[in-house]
A and B are shown apart, each in its own frame.
Chain A
Amino acid sequence: MNDANPVLSVDKLHKAFNGKTVVSGLTFDLYPGEILALVGENGAGKSTSKNMLCGLLAPTGGEILIEQQKVAEVDGALHGISAVHQELSLFKSLTVAQNLCINDLPGSNLNIDWSKAEKIARKELDFLGVAIDPQALVGDLGAGKQQIVEIAKALLHANKVLILDEPTTSLTKPEREKLFAVMQKLKARGVAMIFISHFMDEVYQMADKYLVLRDGQQVAAGELAKTPRSELEALMVGREMTQSQIELAPPQNQVSLAVRQLTSCHFNQISLNLKKGEIIGIGGLMGAGRTELAEAISGLRPAQGEIYIGGKFIKRPSLATMLKHKLCYVTEDRRGLGLFPQRSVKENMTAANLSNFVQPLFRGIGFKNEQAAAQQVVDKMNVVLPDINSAVSHLSGGNQQKVLLGRWLACQPEILILDEPTKGVDIGAKLDIHKKIAALAASGVAVLLVSSDLQELLDLSHRIIVMRTGEQVAEFNRDAFDPTKIIAAAASSAYAKETS
């Protein structure tokens, strides 16, 4: 493979925002059919590197060579480089087919052949093996499906280099496998790929080479086959990672949250008892209705059925009443539903629970102490940021996630509903967050954990409930956890409703 010429060479690439260096010394060669894993902690500069390589940001130093030609400015479409962006770059008011084909619409300028576009879209989606209606509006799809559309869009134009920036964060196991199969096909076709991920399993499964960034510096590069996993992790984090198993304290007997026969158009007859100090994981495939269930319990969506908190029937669930009962919900869609993009990290941190952060002069007046209190949370969550007063949209994806989590953890919840809490968070930070959740549970907080990361569910839950197309199909206790069975329950249509 290496006898060919590199399709992409990068030499001492450098990027600074207002004099603050974010990436420096990035140097590598990428050959056709090769997969390079770009790894590093949150805020290490991975997405920034990607943006420079696909022409969205102009580098402040270094050079980029494409097929050994030095290019002043990368033009993705012209140079055959396409990317799956960490934050979805889709047009929500357009259909799936329109989104997929927007860069290369069939037909002429003055007469687009929409039926052909639809065919192209259908073919591409079939290639990925997912059932998405090409005529559906992207805004109407769930987060997972949107991610697939984003991937499909990039694949459609990947003829030389494809950059995937955390493509799997919203995908469940089967979809991940499908994506990997497609990547293998592309690899065989000679397409070179740069794969950014925080999942070490995936990195080892897919990539040939690695490149480690730490604080914007390229600290190591090499062949994955020759590097043991612990060494790579140490390179990333700058310390040895202890593969410690999370210790879960046993739940208490009191029931914190009881849900009876909860039903809406997205899910059907869901019942569960969440005890104090218990962590229940909810597994399932994309579109199983887990997010909808979590939102319904939090009072954000209407649903029939009964919800009890601490044995008390909640008559008209709304987010405000739930908050009063110290139930907090952390959304999976941090960009759309979670953060206030132009506002500062400080304001984002305190948005849900301002009164706890400040020492007001009178009720509702004055923000004394806000900065210091928010800074404490930032430190506790290890958020990497230039300044607590800078806009949250300037943070890296994983750090944005930490801000969101920090906001809700600071509310001192008694019941915590987490939807994909570690989406885009690096391995070190993830372990920290897991420990924090376990500690919270140990102190009596009841946790409902929705996650597409099966390992996370296995590590962190006392019980796992599996949902499939809105139905509650299986339940596993910690001692009976079995990944294959869980996946089977989530995916198979033959798997009968059972509890183990």
Chain B
Amino acid sequence: KEIRIGLAVDQLFESRVAENNAIKAAAKKRGFQIIEVVADGDAQTQNAQIQSLISQRVDAILVCAVDQNTINGALMRAQRARIPVIAYDRKLPNERVYQAYVGPDSVQDGFLAGQHMVKQLKDHSGEILVLELLGALNDQNGIDRSKGFQQALQALPNAKIISVPTDWDSAKALAATQNAFQANPSIKAVFAATDTQIPSIETVLIGLGKAHPVGHPKHIVVTGVNGSNDGYQATKKGFADGIVVMNLDQIGEKSIALAEKLIKKQKVEKNHVVAGYFYHSGNIVKNKDKIWGAGQ
């Protein structure tokens, strides 16, 4: 009998699609069928969708939660139906409702990006203004990246962080960056919770005549997390300093491997963190293969 795996996705955007593609590729290798449902950012919908996967009696459910806490109900039903649940990309706080977690270590990812920024800024004296573009206020990965980033910046006691919300929306990021630079022309560095916002930052800096490449004395440090083509291009041409790229291929491979084991009723470990990898202008060429957004 063919093995069917339910894939409950929170929302479709670039990195999620890349991640799902990795999952699908891994499933195809093993001849598993994937039933994908997309909640479009709505927790209620996702709850309903997981239940519809349960009523289809899939063999396992891979879920990236819209919200970590609100699909408990549906997942408990999955437990009752003895369908193994693997959370991917977003960890779930309630250990009882899932068998395994595979995903990035967002605090660490934010920390890596912050660490590089600290290295670039440590020679500056006086107050250093740093702009932080937050993700959405209700996204755990966004919150964790911010947490890690701010931890890293504690190494710079004279840094002051200005945080603005963007809801992961580039247009909002654009306006927020522009206004922040109006209010604080002396901003020295920008951290983007997702590197897809880096082109927007570039637009603002070009407009202000501040878009100097890495190495220029007036260069504004730009780092981010994700690993998309936007970040890759920006780093390649020297606008951005470096990006933490998530290892999506491994997340994909690992989650299907775990699913396979769970379906075969084998014991697995609970937590599988796939660390991100930091690249910068110096090692970008060498690491191209690891950057999922870089293309072939």
Q: In the complex, are there CB atoms of A and B closer than 8 Å? A: no
State the B residues within 8 Å of A (CB).
none
Which A positions have Cβ atoms within 8 angstroms of B?
Answer: none
